[in-house]
Chain A
Amino acid sequence: MCENYEVAVLMKNITKRFHNIVANDRITFDVKVGEIHALLGENGAGKTTLMNILFGHYRPDEGEIYVYGRKVKISCPRDAIKLGIMMIHQHPLLVENLSVLENIALLYGIHDSLGLLLSPRKLRDKLTDMIEKYNLKIDLDAKVWQLSASQKQQVELLKALVYDSKILILDEPTSILTPIEKEWLFSFIRKMKRDGKSVIFITHKLEEAISISDRITVLRRGRVVGTLNSSETSVQELARLMIGEEGLRNERIVSIQKRADGDLDNKRIVLEVSDLSVLDDRGSPAVRGVSFEVYEGEIFGIIGVSGNGQTELVEAITGLRKVQKGRIRIDSQDVTNRGPRYIQSLGVAHIPEHRIKHGIVSELSVAENLVLKVYRKPPFCKGPYLNSKEISRWARELISEFSIVTPNEKIPVGQLSGGNIQRVIVAREVSMKPKLLIAAYPTHGLDIAATRFVREILKSEKDRGCAVLLVSNDIDEVLELCDRIAVMYEGRILKIISAEEATKEKIGLLMSGVDTIEGAQIDQHYH
């Protein structure tokens, strides 16, 4: 039915309100058949809301949706799937304990043309064909928990292929990928386009939008501010549309700070990790004999593809995970296997990797979350009693100092946007005036304004004399911020390089396990 139409999806005058916030304001958006259309905007611009409407998660308050020229009503994802629409979420919804094949067979019950259930063997053959055709890198019998983030995403893509979806929505698909995996994804998307499918690509990364898409629609504060042909636009134009004139003016004011000189000799060591080994949740080694020091007044970066032991390393330093072997010293005090409370009391702040899971309590108020680390210290409590007045006052102070956007300090923190949740966490941790600040992926998934804000905070903490340990998988970020950069691979630190000698290429190669000096691939199978 799609051949007769040029426009695959037309969303007309879509309006969606949450409480009194307008998430989508009379948005009109169309995607042609065989087109890759990027939906660009900062966090909270309304991209995901719009796509959730198309996929049936939300219903629009006003407006109409046409799919292949037919007016449709989409009340649930099942309706959308029937219409040939598939959405690949940022965090795939898969059953961890089942195999890839089982996940695909069980969740959806695949039917053939007669409406009969395909037998697992038939399904397996079908999937194997598709894996080959589209060059997917997944094993149908692997359990989902064994897969990497990128492989999980491929399982979701495989679902779309099995469904023969004509319209594919990808929500920030590159945020979890390494550069190589990203290239693979882009070639996959182009293959889909060649097959006459339409792809909607949600992103906040300007270069990505230009390089992958045919057209780009830019959203700002729930409105469409422009739809452009990718070949006729530039990063500058998109940035101006996306952030708005006022946003760019602010950017010019931010001065570029000179990096401190690399002279560490007369600086104090704040964090000293020696020969550290840590196990992961499944009991296999995640960190294998790691040693490094972090000095006061420096930002020490640890970069690597996610899942190479960074998470476990941070958890060990902050007292959340048992150390198997080795020592951790903070201010030359041995803190190996001490609890998180003790380590905090030495002046260690921690911006956690999973901000919703570890960093906040969604149901509690902004104020209550802002005192999560200090509630048991005066003036926030007197003996066993909380001092609510002082807590509210402190919260209001931090809200204005850290520009947290919230109606007041009493609403549940879970109702804030992702960027503001991170501001709450950063405000809480930095207001402790820490000696050591451990920031794990602190800008992951944040929009430009929030990212810039977090990076400025890290810099100012460094200038204050704090030792900052930054864990990241964003090469540009560590190059911008760090004085020294350690590249982590398979639980080891391959190399520590100073900012001056670091280049994008060098780090990129190290991240994939190649040491540039020896030029040899590091054996992946040592234990």
Chain B
Amino acid sequence: MKVLRSINITIRRREHVPRIFELLIPVCSAVVGLVVCALIFLLQGIDPIYAYSEIYRYSLGGPIQVSNVIRVMIPLILCATGLILVFRAGVWNIGAEGQILIGAIVATGVALFVLQGNTNSALFIFSMITLGFIFGGLWALIPAILKAKLDVNEIITTLMMNYIAAYILQYLVYGPWKGKKTFGFPITDEIPPQAHFPLIPGTLIHIPTLILAICSIVFVFFVMTQTTLGYEIKVFGSNPDAAKYAGISKTKVILITMFISGGLAGVAGAGEIGGVHHRLIYNPWSISANYGFTAIIVAFLARLNPIGIIPAAFLMAILIVGTRALQITFNLPVGVINVFNGSILITMVSMEFFRHYRIVIRRSE
């Protein structure tokens, strides 16, 4: 007699999440993500092992490559630490991309038109960064005020304001700010050399923003753990009703967190101008380079914990740098790169499921 066997699969909620999972889950999800992407490479007729070795070679293969990764980490860290602050307050700022652009515009404007002829390099760097911060913050305050006072959904406003920022940049580049020495190309003139951010010798890492990125991590960690503001952010973010009951001002929490978050993104934008591009160019997205959106992933991979920002930003930066190289080595269409990045991210996000659930497979007869 034949015994019929069936496999019974059930999903169960974990009643207790083991500590080790905090480490295990990100690592496992990275591995699974790489396996999924290997299949995508195979479909494209590329040997995945070769592809991965190329990614490794171009991102971690030597000091220059690593310095490239660190250069990408800077804007990611600046944006992500700010995002941790707003996300912990339960405010969804999807507008870091636009806030970067505003920082970049202001930094360029200051360097080209305001401080013309000045020779003091420190003055340039200080004003580019400070004004980048202030204007990035002010830009973020618009959706913040709308949310705090009129309950307008900040996800939509911050997202749409990215495009407004991009169009402002394009208007300037095609119009009033178009360079005089650029042979009619829609780009601005290069900012004067004294406005270039100093680099770590032999690398492309711009020092002032690197320092600020590290400081921003310490700052957010300190705010969240040691200050009354951090306490108010946690209370408001976890239970707005209890915050109201305790007399915590909703407006204050939303405005302050959004201002800091937008400001840090603005600093990232100033850094991209002062340290990398040295001018505005007609394609805004090549300046912000998706850092504002990628930073959302970084913040969540770090589980909204400032300490987790560095490994999370490091991982994302490797992917960004490595896949840029892939594009060149294999002459891949940019779409494949996006599929690659997307697959890794989707795997990582879906692996979070296993933090709270486990799958039980039983064989029943």
Contact = CB atoms under 8 A, between A and B. Distances in A.
Interface string B211-255: 000000000000001111111001100110110111111000000
A357 B235 contact: no
B15 interface: yes
B10 A372 contact: no
A362 B238 contact: yes
A372 B232 CA distance: 9
Contacts of B356: none
A359 B245 contact: yes
A364 B246 contact: no
B241 A376 contact: no
Contacts of A320: 244-245
Interface of B: 10, 12, 15-16, 225-231, 234-235, 238-239, 241-242, 244-249
B16 A360 contact: no
A361 B12 contact: no
A75 B10 contact: yes
Contacts of B227: 384-386
B140 to A, nearest CB: 21
Contacts of B241: 354, 357-358
Residue among A359, A361, A364, A375 having the largest count of chain B Cβ atoms under 10 Å:
A361
* Most chain A CB atoms below 10 A, which of B15, B230, B249: B15
Given A340-B244, A340-B246, A362 B239 contact: yes
A376 B239 contact: no
Nearest to B10: A75
Contact of A386 (B226, B247, B248): B226
A359 B230 CA distance: 19
A363 B238 contact: yes
Contacts of A361: 234-235, 238-239, 242
A375 B241 CA distance: 17
Given A340-B244, A372-B235, A385-B226, 19 more contacts: A18-B16, A59-B12, A75-B12, A319-B247, A340-B245, A340-B247, A341-B248, A342-B247, A354-B241, A358-B242, A360-B239, A361-B235, A361-B242, A362-B239, A368-B235, A384-B229, A385-B227, A386-B231, A388-B226
A196 interface: no
A320 B247 CA distance: 9
Contacts of A375: 228, 231
Given A375-B231, A385-B227, A386-B227, A350 B245 contact: yes
A455 interface: no
Contacts of B12: 59, 75
A367 to B, nearest CB: 11
A65 to B, nearest CB: 17
A74 to B, nearest CB: 12
Contacts of B235: 361, 364, 368, 372
A385 to B, nearest CB: 6
B228 A386 contact: yes
The CB with the most chain A CB atoms within 10 A, among B16, B234, B241, B246, is that of: B246
A385 B241 CA distance: 24
B348 to A, nearest CB: 23
A386 B229 CA distance: 9
B247 to A, nearest CB: 3
A354 B241 CA distance: 10
A415 to B, nearest CB: 11
A19 B19 CA distance: 13
Contacts of B249: 341
22 contacts: A18-B15, A19-B16, A75-B12, A318-B245, A319-B247, A320-B245, A339-B247, A340-B244, A340-B245, A350-B245, A357-B241, A358-B241, A360-B239, A363-B234, A364-B234, A368-B234, A372-B235, A372-B246, A385-B226, A385-B228, A386-B226, A386-B228
A59 B15 CA distance: 11
Contact of A373 (B10, B228, B244, B246): B246
A381 interface: yes
Contact of B231 (A19, A339, A368): A368
A358 B242 CA distance: 4
Contacts of A376: 228
Interface string A343-381: 010000010101001111111100010001101100001
B228 A381 contact: yes
Given A59-B12, A75-B10, A361-B235, A384 B242 contact: no
A16 to B, nearest CB: 10
Contacts of A362: 238-239
Q: Which 9 A-B pairs have the closest CB atoms?
A: A341-B247, A340-B247, A358-B245, A361-B239, A363-B238, A372-B246, A361-B238, A361-B242, A358-B241
A243 B226 CA distance: 43
B32 to A, nearest CB: 27
A60 B193 CA distance: 71
A361 B236 CA distance: 9
Contacts of A354: 241
Nearest to A75: B10
A86 to B, nearest CB: 22
Contacts of B226: 385-386, 388
Interface string A373-405: 101100001001110100000000000000000
B304 to A, nearest CB: 12
A358 B247 CA distance: 11
A339 B244 CA distance: 9
A345 to B, nearest CB: 8
Contacts of B242: 357-361, 372
Most-contacted residue by chain B among A344, A350, A376, A388 (CB, 10 A): A376
A364 B237 CA distance: 11
Contacts of A388: 225-226
A354 B235 CA distance: 16
A317 B98 CA distance: 44
A458 to B, nearest CB: 20
B21 to A, nearest CB: 16
Interface string A52-93: 000000010000000000000001000000000000000000
A318 B246 CA distance: 10
